[in-house]
Amino acid sequence: MIIVFNPAASEEEVQHVVDRITELGMTPHLSKGVARTLLGAIGDEKILDSHPVDAMPGVDRVIPVMRPYKLASREFKPEATVIDLGDGVTIGGERFEIMAGPCAVEGRTQTLEIAEILSGLGVRILRGGAFKPRTSPYSFQGLGEEGLKILAEAREKTGMKVITELVDAEDASMVAEYADVLQIGARNMANFALLQRVGEMNKPVMLKRGMSSTVEELLLAAEYILKGGNQQVMLCERGIKTFETATRNTFDIAAIPLLKHESHLPVIADPSHATGVLHLIPPVSFASMAAGADGLMVEVHNHPDQALCDGPQAVPPGPFKELLLRIRELAPAMGRTA
């Protein structure tokens, strides 16, 4: 249920309604927009049938939310969410933001070298995995906390923000000390204990769509984080499993405008995992921008032939520079900067 306040509603009137919702055993979620203040009442909505709040001072109307995801819906928050990472770096605003870097932090020299290259190209967010959940137990699993320390050093030297994957809820506090954005990978999209944990944190989260998950399931996973109180959530379309074998996954381009229509949360596209094919990354990147994505996550490696993880799909610095130039040329046509 969404409670819409009058534009002239006072802080006292809003707080009175918040207190009333809490007394009724529901969870209030306040959203203050430019023109309107909205209050999401999460819980058994039948309670409001016998305890109506639409006549309370300051309340304009009460709207039932038809979507199973409440807090993630455009009904709850019509304005697009913009996530501020600090130092002028935002996700969901006018700028089409690029997250780039190796699949995994393999060592200090490798990571610092690629961070310097990317920073020199104007990339403001460095990606790199310190913990790597892999299909095979024999594959490289990451450097753990040592990898996080290397990412933090790269941030200190370049000023870039850092996004890295969180795999285990027990590591949440440790990873959050080093990262600017916590990534919840496709394999953990339905790890509800992990989602609840990051929902308790004041740290931006990028939630990747599960490999066999629907758009609704992705939004319901985001709902777990939002319900916990963390409103800094972005979604990531990274391809889904289908019968097609020509690409690593099937990139659901329609999911991007659908998510933007259904939800106020920013949407990032991951053409690297979506295709797994090097020459497909540029066209899928351009298509993602045209479809309305707020940014990209691209795997870039200074020595792809030596990469310990996903080398065949990692873009070398030269071709990545060309990709950036094209994105910056196309951005104005989409009402963006890059």
Q: What are 293-334's pLDDT values in tens digits? A: 999 999 999 988 888 887 888 999 999 999 999 999 999 999
Q: Which amino acid is at 200?
A: E
Pairing of strands 233-237, 205-208: parallel
Segment holding 235, helix H or strand E: strand 233-237
Give the span between the Cα atoms of 67 and 76, in whole angstroms: 10
The interaxial angle of helices 108-120 and 317-330, nearest 10 deg, is: 30
Q: Which residues contact 223 (CB under 8 A, 6 or more apart)?
A: 69, 70, 71, 72
Report residue 98 as tokens: 């690029």
Give the span between the Cα atoms of 143 and 153, in whole angstroms: 15
pTM of the model: 0.90
Written as one string, the DSSP assignment of 56-124 is STTEEEEE---SS--TTBTTT--SPP-EEEETTEEESSSB-EEEEE-SB---HHHHHHHHHHHHHTT--
Give the span between the Cα atoms of 102 and 160, in whole angstroms: 14
Q: CB count, 10 Å around CB of 74?
A: 15
In terms of phi and psi (left: phi > 0; alpha: psi -120 to 50; beta: otherwise), the region of 65 is beta
> Do residues 190 and 221 lie in contact, with contact meaning Cβ atoms separated by under 8 Å?
yes
Give the span between the Cα atoms of 296 and 273, in whole angstroms: 11
User: Which domains, from first to last, does the chain contain?
Assistant: 2-63 (3.30.70.1140), 83-334 (3.20.20.70)
Q: Please provide the distance, in angstroms rounded to a whole number, between the alpha carbons at the two ends of the chain.
A: 38
According to DSSP, residue 167 is labeled -
Report residue 203 as tokens: 């740290």
Q: Which amino acid is at 124?
A: R
pLDDT digits (tens), the chain, 338 positions: 889 999 989 999 999 999 999 999 988 888 887 778 888 888 887 888 888 898 899 999 888 887 889 899 998 888 999 999 999 999 999 999 999 999 999 999 999 999 999 999 999 999 999 987 766 776 777 789 999 999 999 999 999 999 999 999 999 999 999 999 999 999 999 999 999 999 999 999 999 999 999 999 999 999 999 999 999 999 999 999 999 999 999 999 999 999 999 999 999 999 999 999 999 999 999 999 999 999 999 999 998 888 888 788 899 999 999 999 999 999 999 999 99
Nearest to 255 by CA among 210, 305, 311, 304: 210
